[in-house]
A and B are shown apart, each in its own frame.
Chain A
Amino acid sequence: MNTGPLLRISGLTKTYPGVTALDDLTLELPHGRIGLVGANGAGKSTMFRVLLGLSHPTAGHVEVCGIDVARDPIGVRSRLGYMPEHDCLALDQTAADVVSTFGELSGLPPRAARQRASDILDLVGLDEARFRPIGGFSTGMRQRTKLAQALVGDPELVLLDEPTAGLDPIGREEMLQLVDRLGSFGISVLMATHLLDDVQAVCDHVVMINAGKLVVSGATNSLLERTGLVTIDVGRHTEELVLGLARAGVAAVAVDDVVEATVGDDAQMDLVRDVVAEMGLPLFRLSTRLRSLDEAFVRRSEELA
């Protein structure tokens, strides 16, 4: 297994007639679960095609798992699993047939492919349905089948293109749990999505691109910056608390049944706690408010512009 960076991209540019899909991207990404975030048309799918060696970059250099994509695309594809966004499964075949066929296409011997197809379909929760034609599957089951075919070849890195697209809230939650588990199996994940909540839920690292340009790349926690606000939930006593904090010299406002107070340091945080205690209010929650990935994305995009 490659011990260097998962992806090493330098000066990656991909242009189509009249469109620059990727514009001078330079990145080095560690192993783990990585979110590739961007609006529709930001260049996420183009980047996947380049990583798979299906599209040659106009300029730049890409290494996946330590292998130069331009020099050895077959070697790269042997280490990757790919789950596209769109429907891509033969509807008249059973999930077991489809997944075992893709296992064989990944280079596994037929018997091992069938065994792994069974194991992986069990893993993604399709054990009971594996002998049913995919045409009769729900959207959630098709997404799981797509994930299973991406995993059957035991990849080092799996590329997931909008894995939660079209799923209901329960299906989305289950899919994210599956993606989250992949990290514990030693499989790195590059998940393209425009849903920042999904990335925030499962990814250790975030890459944000906009119109083909890199907006920001970093550990998820580092992007969830402290905002200098604390959220205080005191039930229905919000107005009383706002007045009490104002008397103590702490600026605060009531927002959606909670109070948000601006604190500069730990001493002010203690002061907020003491005010609540002195007023005898019930304290349900006292937490620092982090800047969400949405805010980080918008702010960095504005800075870049």
Chain B
Amino acid sequence: MSAVEGSADAGRGAVYDRGYRPYEGPRGQRGAATLALYKASMRRALGLRRTWRQKVAPFVLLAVVTIPAIVNVGIGYVTRDRFDGFVIITYREYVGVSSALLLFVALVAPDVMCPDRRQKVLPLMFARPLLGTDYVVAKVGSIATILFAFSYLPQVVLFVGNMLVSNAALDYFSGHLDVLWKVPLSIVVLAVYYAMIGCALSSLTDRRIVAGASVIGLFLLTSIASGVIVDNSDATGGGYGGLLNVLAMPLHLRDVIFLGHVDPSSQLGGVAGGGWLALACYLAVLCTGASVLWWRYRWVER
């Protein structure tokens, strides 16, 4: 470090040229780079360190999915003297409400993936100790984490609220211990699935609007198509056409987790081995998404 001092004012002040200081501290490798990208993607998805407009969508959606829990707990509190264990929405059904977060996926996955291509940031990233698989893990992981948090937080509000307004909080807790693993497991199933689809579709284009429309379009079209097929089938209950419904696949697995079988009133109700078929389709969609992502980011390792 060198100091340039004015001769007249020597001792009173100095201008320092700090120059360049080499970094001699600890240095991470792939894991650190992946974690850094994961955190940066989380910040971007949540609008942190960005303008207030970017923060509106995620937190409005969080508020929207939390409202049913607050309403349920509020009514339970007001009617606690007349009904014990008042229920508007069950934990199983509430996991289904979280599927509203696919709107969040349609907004956020393109915002996290597309600008990297459009603004040509990828060569800079891959000039770091980072492989294509690390990039995909960080991106899918960040969106899945936010989806999990946004789905799990309302469930926590619902559980704690119900416990506190019940006449016997400890009895409520001990009577609902299964919820403590079924809810997180169901939400993991849902979050990973939606994150993978959102990222895979977003990786195919560098335009956010196209990617967002593709995500919404895939879910809408497949659910409409499967609905039409199931409704026109001769079978009572559901039918194999329900397997086309990409949107509902994790919800069938949720039912298997909570009930031990698919919901008889669902599109797969009455289908022999419906749970296994739903699991197979779920894994097939995940594998397809992973393959698309591998294909899109494989060039960095060639």
Contact = CB atoms under 8 A, between A and B. Distances in A.
A195 B119 CA distance: 26
Contacts of B27: 78, 106-108
B128 A77 contact: yes
Interface residues of A, number: 45
A88 B119 contact: yes
B22 A122 contact: no
A87 B120 contact: yes
Task: Using C-beta atoms within 8 Å of the partner chain, give the interface range for chain B.
Answer: 35 or more
Interface in A87-115: 87-94, 97, 101-102, 104-110, 112-113
A105 B119 contact: no
B32 A154 contact: no
A14 to B, nearest CB: 11
A113 B26 CA distance: 11
B82 interface: no
B36 interface: yes
B78 interface: no
Interface in B120-172: 120-121, 123-131
Interface string B31-56: 01100110110000000011100000
B120 A109 contact: no
A54 B302 CA distance: 6
A116 B23 contact: yes
Given A90-B115, A101-B36, A185-B20, A153 B128 contact: yes
Contacts of B37: 105
B19 interface: yes
A84 interface: yes
A106 B33 contact: yes
Q: Which of B25, B27, B33, B36 has the most CB of A within 10 A?
A: B36
Contacts of A220: none
A52 B125 CA distance: 11
B interface secondary structure, majority: loop
B296 interface: no
Contacts of B36: 101, 104-105, 110, 113
Interface in B96-132: 115, 119-121, 123-131
A55 interface: yes
B119 A107 contact: no
B123 A186 contact: no
Nearest to A105: B128
Contacts of B124: 82, 84, 88, 102, 149
A52 B300 CA distance: 10
A149 B91 CA distance: 47
A84 B125 contact: no
A94 B48 CA distance: 12
A89 B203 CA distance: 18
A273 interface: no
Contacts of B32: 104, 107, 109
Contacts of A181: 20
Contact of B119 (A55, A87, A149, A187): A87
B123 A54 contact: yes
A123 interface: yes
Contacts of B174: none
A147 interface: no
A119 interface: yes
B117 to A, nearest CB: 11
Contacts of A104: 32-33, 36, 39-40
A54 B131 contact: no
Most buried by A among B25, B30, B51, B125: B25
B23 A56 contact: no
**8 nearest A-B pairs in the assembled complex, by CB-CB distance:** A104-B36, A82-B127, A154-B23, A185-B20, A107-B28, A107-B27, A105-B128, A74-B129
7 contacts: A54-B127, A77-B128, A86-B120, A93-B50, A105-B130, A109-B28, A123-B19
Given A52-B126, A77-B127, A109-B28, 5 more contacts: A55-B302, A82-B127, A90-B119, A153-B128, A187-B20
Interface of B: 18-23, 25-30, 32-33, 36-37, 39-40, 49-51, 115, 119-121, 123-131, 300, 302
